């Protein structure tokens, strides 16, 4: 079975600062893969590399068996044109810390926008699916509301519906609850649990250890640009092998 995400020796630097120092990992189809670790450990950067929002400096990254951002001829890599990258990116949904909704559009218009503009779907078809997706994230009554009329948790659920509207085969979540008030976190995590139950492949950068333990199939602890420890959530979170993992978990659990 082809891995949904495969990283081989992925390095990424910003100027002189090495952020990723040789990441090797695989995410299987239908797997919920959680990345944990301190701020600045490279988790979000790695996530952004998966859909080529950041370009890697060396190594290889594959999504569903295809190189991300490049094509290979012989031993050489050639960068894809922006249009080709955008086409591949259609298969990868991404949900950010900040919701990035269009403020001048209602919830349903936000969810419809990409299928209409990118896939050239008719507005009627896109609207029908958008309404179903809003229902799925528990917001059918907010279809006509603007982002300013929604709580942070509701905006984030609209953002998830918007990502799902493109029918992606992979969903990336970059700390989707970190900007929310504590009482709003549960609703967003419930939506993500539902996606996991439906078999969506998910890579989740998170500080929510309860979610990682309950919903995750694998947990990777990253620190200083490397994978320190990985395994089943129960192993990593309750019986970590490395001192660095133990130290981190003692502060967050």
3-state secondary structure (DSSP) of residue 60 = strand
DSSP string, 110-161: HHHHHHHHTS---HHHHHHHHHHHHHHTT-GGGTT--GGGS-HHHHHHHHHH
**Displacement of CA 75 from its chain's centroid (Å):** 30
Cβ distance 169 to 201 under 8 Å?
yes
Output the CA angle 200-150-164, nearest 5 degrees: 20
Round to whole Å and give the CA distance between 158 and 102.
Answer: 11
Count other Cβ atoms within 10 Å, centred on residue 73.
8
- What is the SS3 assignment for 215? helix
Question: Crossing angle, helix 152-164 and helix 182-197, to 10 degrees?
Answer: 20
User: What pTM does this model have?
Assistant: 0.94
Long-range CB pairs of 79-87 (<8 Å, 24+ gap) are 79/55, 85/52, 86/118
CA 161 remoteness from chain centre? 13
Q: Where are the domains of the chain?
A: 5-250
pLDDT at position 24? 96
Closest CA to 30 of 64, 68, 53: 64
Q: Which CATH class is domain 5-250?
A: alpha beta
Determine contact, residues 58/11, Cβ cutoff 8 Å. yes
Terminus-to-terminus CA distance in the chain, angstroms? Answer: 35
Give the pLDDT confidence score for residue 184 in this predicted structure.
87
Query: CA-to-CA distance for 137 and 114, rounded, in angstroms?
Result: 18
Per-residue tens of pLDDT for the chain, all 253 residues:
899 999 999 999 999 999 999 999 999 999 999 999 999 999 999 999 999 999 999 999 999 999 988 888 888 888 888 888 888 888 999 999 888 899 999 999 999 999 999 899 999 999 999 999 999 999 999 999 999 999 999 999 999 999 999 999 999 999 999 888 888 899 999 999 999 999 999 999 999 999 999 999 999 999 999 999 999 999 999 999 999 999 999 988 7
* 173 within 8 A of 206, measured Cβ to Cβ: yes
Kindly give, in sequence order, each residue whose CB lies less than 8 Å from that of residue 111, ignoring residues fewer than 6 positions away: 129, 130, 133, 134, 158, 161, 162, 165
Alpha carbon 182 to its chain's center: 21
């Amino acid at each position: 079975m082809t891995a949904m995400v495969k990283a081989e020796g992925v390095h990424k630097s910003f100027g002189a600062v090495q952020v990723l120092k040789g990441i090797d990992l695989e995410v299987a189809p239908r797997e919920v893969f959680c990345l944990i670790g301190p701020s600045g450990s490279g988790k979000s950067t790695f996530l952004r590399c998966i859909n080529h929002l950041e370009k890697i400096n060396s190594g290889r990254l594959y999504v569903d068996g295809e190189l991300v951002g490049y094509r290979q001829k012989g031993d050489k890599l050639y960068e894809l044109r922006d249009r080709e990258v955008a086409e591949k990116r259609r298969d990868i949904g991404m949900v950010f810390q900040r919701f990035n909704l269009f403020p001048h559009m209602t919830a349903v218009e936000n969810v419809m926008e990409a299928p209409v503009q990118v896939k050239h779907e008719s507005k009627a078809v896109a609207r029908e699916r958008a309404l179903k997706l809003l229902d799925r994230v528990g917001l059918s009554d907010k279809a006509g509301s603007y982002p300013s009329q929604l709580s942070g948790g509701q905006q984030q659920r609209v953002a998830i519906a918007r990502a799902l509207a493109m029918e992606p085969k992979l969903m990336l979540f970059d700390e989707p609850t970190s900007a929310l008030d504590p009482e709003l976190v549960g609703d967003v995590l419930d939506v993500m649990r539902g996606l996991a139950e439906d078999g969506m492949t998910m890579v989740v950068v998170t500080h929510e250890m309860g979610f990682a333990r309950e919903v995750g199939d694998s947990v990777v602890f990253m620190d200083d640009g490397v994978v320190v420890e990985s395994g089943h959530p129960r192993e990593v979170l309750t019986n970590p092998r490395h001192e660095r993992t133990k130290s981190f978990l003692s502060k967050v659990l």
